[in-house]
Amino acid sequence: MNDTDFFDQAMRYQDGVLTPDEIAAFEAAMRDDPAKRQLFADTQVRSMALHDRFRQEAFQSSCDFSRTSPKKPFTWITRPIAAMAAGLVIGLFSASVVGAISSPKATTERLFSLLNGSFDENRLERGFPRQTGLWSGDEAAIHDGQLRFISPGSDSNDPTGRAISCDVFQLVDLRPLRHALSPEGDSVLELSADFLDARAPNTKPSVSFFCQLYLFAGDPGSLHQTWPQSIPAAIASGSAEVTTLGLDDKGTRTLTVKCLIPAQADFAVIQIAARPNLRPAKLEGLSADNVRLSLKTQPSLPVRIVQR
């Protein structure tokens, strides 16, 4: 594993999206190479520093932070999760940076307004949703507790546009949860979903599954009038994807998206999708299940980084 690959894995390790096999390989690389242990520790310090500098900008745009190294060193950092990761590596591998932290436990509150996340009901509307709490979108069906993608569709506001992917949405009202937002720390909305490509192994074309999250201010009941042109108006967003070629030994793929919640966020758009990467193509054997949405809050305490 070269340094570029290792850096990419370090970012994904911090985001919690590595598979068990990838985690084992990543940790083995650190055990075997002192330089990689130092690189990982440095990566965590940079990430903590950048989080503090770009937090306000992220609230106004999206939750994808720049990973460019800061020009000046930071002395006080306020990202407990990254600091704990750096401290863990420091303790295990004796890196040259020491992080001192004392942090309360994070709390998690499940959003019960995300209805039928396991698709145990057969209600499925067509078109972009006009009210919260209902799955709606392109042609799909609920069968045996799973959402089956059937056919890509064009957007109602652009009926002449290309039908590229089969998209299914749900609107979630965030206003009742404002009491649970952390006034002094980070409040994170986390979306995850399980996807399965049950076609025969190495079936072409490849298919990309998507799990996307958009946060908006305003009235959720009017968004259908402007979707998808209104996507740039999202005040925060996150996206994850995976590409498959039929059933393989990895089986079900779980995608997870995390997004900081700006104080002005009123509602969220949940989007799950399947896109054939060669069109036209039938969407056979493609499904989603176990969609989960959680609010996680973490108090933000100062962390002192000491160089020695």
Cα Rg of the chain, angstroms: 21
Task: Give residue limits of the domains in the chain.
Answer: 3-103, 109-298
Q: Give 213-261 as a DSSP string.
A: EEEE-S-GGGGGGTTTTTGGG-SEEEEEEEEESS--TT-SEEEEEEEE-
Q: Which CATH number fits domain 109-298: 3.90.1150.10, 2.60.120.260, 1.10.357.10, 2.20.25.90?
A: 2.60.120.260
Instruction: Write out pLDDT tens, residues 128-179.
Output: 999 998 899 999 999 888 999 999 988 877 767 788 899 999 999 998 888 7
Instruction: Write out pLDDT tens, residues 23-48.
Output: 888 888 888 887 777 777 766 655 54
Quick one: average pLDDT of 209-236?
Answer: 94
Q: State how far the Cα of 224 lies from the Cα of 230, in Å rounded to an integer.
A: 9
The letter for the amino acid at 196 is L
Burial (CB count within 10 angstroms: exposed 0-12, middle 13-18, buried 19+), residue 135 = buried
Closest to 288 in 3D by CA, of 266, 306, 271, 265:
271
Quick one: average pLDDT of 226-233?
Answer: 92
C-alpha 127 chain-centroid distance: 24
SS (H, E, C) 124-149: CEECCCCCECCCEECEEEEECCEEEE
Quick one: average pLDDT of 292-300?
Answer: 76
- Give residue 270's pLDDT band: very low, low, confident or very high (50, 70, 90): very high
Q: State how far the Cα of 193 lies from the Cα of 67, in Å rounded to an integer.
A: 26
